[in-house]
C-alpha cells in the first residue's frame, strides 16, 4: 500500500501529469486504485474493451501484439491511455513481465478530473502525439531499410 506522498511522487513523474499543479495531482493520486499482477499475468488483451489508464508502481509489463513486443513499461511509465478517449477496443495486449503493481485511473475518474483541470487533456494529447511521431519514425526507418 502506497502512502499519499509516494502516490503523489509517482503520479507527478508520469509524463502526462508532469505539468499539473500539486493540489490536482494529490486529488488524482488519491482516487486511483492499486492493483497487483503476478508474473506472466495478462493485464488486458488486444481487442478487449477498456476504459482505464495504468501507471506502473513496481515491476515491468510488456506491450505486445501476439508474440511481437512493442514496448516495455517500467516504474513510472503508463499504458492504456488511448482507451480513455475513444470507444475502440484495446490496440495491443499487456502482460506483466515480473510481479507488477499498478495504479489505475478509470475513464470516469479522468473525465471528472478534466472538468476541474482541462490542462490534463493537453498533456495527454502531447503524449499521444509523441507516440505517433515515434511510430512514424520507426515505420520510415523500417521502410528505408527494406528498400536497401
Chain segment 12-71, per-residue pLDDT in tens: 888 777 777 788 888 888 899 999 999 999 999 999 998 999 999 999 999 999 999 999
What is the torsional sign of CA 131, 48, 46, 79? positive
What is the model's pTM?
A: 0.80
- Cβ neighbours around 141 below 10 Å, total: 10
The pLDDT value given to residue 68: 95
- Output phi, psi for 37, to 5 deg: -130, 135
pLDDT tens sequence across 63-94: 999 999 999 999 989 999 878 778 789 999 99
pLDDT bucket at 140, cuts 50 / 70 / 90? very high
Residue 145: exposure state from Cβ atoms within 10 A (0-12, 13-18, ≥19): exposed
Q: Which 3 state secondary structure label does DSSP give 47? A: coil
pLDDT at 9 over 80: yes
Domain ranges of the chain: 4-147
- For domain 4-147, the CATH superfamily is Jelly Rolls (2.60.120.10)
Amino acid at each position: 500500500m502506497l502512502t499519499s506522498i509516494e502516490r503523489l511522487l509517482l503520479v507527478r513523474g508520469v509524463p502526462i501529469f508532469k505539468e499539473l499543479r500539486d493540489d490536482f495531482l494529490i486529488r488524482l493520486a488519491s482516487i486511483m486504485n492499486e492493483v497487483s499482477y503476478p508474473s506472466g499475468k495478462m493485464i488486458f488483451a488486444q481487442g478487449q474493451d477498456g476504459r482505464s489508464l495504468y501507471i506502473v508502481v513496481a515491476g515491468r509489463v510488456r506491450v505486445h501484439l501476439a508474440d511481437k513486443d512493442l514496448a516495455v513499461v517500467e516504474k513510472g511509465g503508463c499504458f492504456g491511455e488511448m482507451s480513455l478517449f475513444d470507444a475502440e477496443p484495446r490496440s495491443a495486449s499487456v502482460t506483466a513481465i515480473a510481479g507488477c503493481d499498478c495504479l489505475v485511473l478509470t475513464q470516469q475518474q479522468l473525465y471528472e478530473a478534466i472538468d476541474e483541470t482541462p490542462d490534463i487533456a493537453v498533456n495527454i494529447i502531447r503524449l499521444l502525439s509523441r507516440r505517433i511521431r515515434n511510430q512514424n519514425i520507426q515505420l520510415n526507418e523500417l521502410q528505408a531499410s527494406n528498400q536497401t
